[in-house]
Structure 1
Amino acid sequence: MKKTNFILMSLVSIIIFQSNIFAQSASDLVGLWQPSEGTSYVKIEREGDKFYGKVVWLKEPKDEQGNEKTDKKNPDKSLRSRPVKGMRMLKDFVFDEKAKEWKSGNIYDPKSGSTYYSNIKYKGKNQIEVRGSLDQSGYIGRTDTWVRVEKKTK
């Protein structure tokens, strides 16, 4: 019985420890990240209690005509001429201390012109999972793994 209790307590301790080794603070999200496509870098910054991300690098910054890529699919016609580089695509994320993740944000996809509900989970020093969904609960959507970019390269 003592051996069973020891094993059980050890397993519980490991589970608790592993759930707390990632995202020890809200600021862990701050930095330069590359989505899985590998075609852009997004710089995530903190402003007050919220986190925002903007496109700071594009692998292909020009369109087919040689012009700077713009937000041509935006549903707001007045924004279609704004450059994708420099665009704020992550907005209003708030760190949930209990869940150790960033919630209640939005992610904008310039390729489709759509904005989605979004949450971000920290998966370690160099990896996050960004979930975009059609519903606030996050059931209908997809998750993309982003990696930290330590040094900006071209």
Structure 2
Amino acid sequence: MACRTAFIIAISAALLIAPSAFAQGASDPTGVWQTQAGDARVKVSKCGGGLCGTIVGLKEPIDPATGKPQVDDKNPNPALKRRPMIGLPLFSGMQPVAANKWSGQIYNADDGGTYASSVSVAGPDTLRVEGCVGAICGGENWTRVGR
């Protein structure tokens, strides 16, 4: 009888702990995320009390036209046009604004622009990334591919 009682207590404790452990994992934005289009992987990490996001992988890391690694050639700053895409910082000033939500700016390497943005954890393996240009806003869901 004592073994059965100990077993029930152990199971009950595990059931009480499991939801909080899941909630912590679900709200953790850090890790490696694949963009919705699957063309890039971004490592999100904690920095400066907020979040940083850096490109760590590309679907096509080599530019087919040049045969060399992809560079930030859409950047309006001539001094930055030759920096490699892998290692490129995407998020800046991403600070917490609500539970599971951070706001700041995001760099769009497709057009060289920096936009108001927010990221929020939408599930254990989903990061919602949104950005606005003036009154026009859009977003996409990124999928966790690593911790």
With structure 2 as the length reference, what TM-score do the two structures score?
0.77
Aligned counterpart in structure 2 of residue 147 of structure 1, from 126, 131, 143: 143
With structure 1 as the length reference, what TM-score do the two structures score?
0.74
Trace 1:44-123 onto structure 2 (pairs within 5 A).
Answer: 44-63=44-63, 64-96=65-97, 99-123=98-122
> In the alignment, which residue of structure 2 is the partner of 1:14?
none
Q: 1: distance between equivalents of 2:125 and 2:144?
A: 5
Q: Aligned in 2, Cα 1:46/1:108: closer, same or farther, shift over 3 Å?
A: same
User: Tell me, which stretches of 5 or more residues in structure 2 are unaligned?
Assistant: 1-21
Structure with greater strand percent: 2
Q: 1: distance between equivalents of 2:43 and 2:23?
A: 18
CA deviation after TM superposition for structure 1 residue 150, in Å: 2.8
CA deviation after TM superposition for structure 1 residue 33, in Å: 0.4
Deviation beyond 3 Å, 4+ runs, structure 1: 22-25
User: Tell me, which stretches of 5 or more residues in structure 1 are unaligned?
Assistant: 1-21
What letter matches 1:149 in structure 2? V
CA deviation after TM superposition for structure 1 residue 23, in Å: 6.8
The alignment's C-alpha RMSD in Å is: 2.5
Question: 1:79-132 deviations in whole A, cap 9, x for unaligned?
Answer: 000001100011111123xx3133331111111111110011211110011001
Percent identical pairs in the alignment equals: 35
Please tell me whether Structure 1 or Structure 2 has the larger radius of gyration of its CA atoms: 2
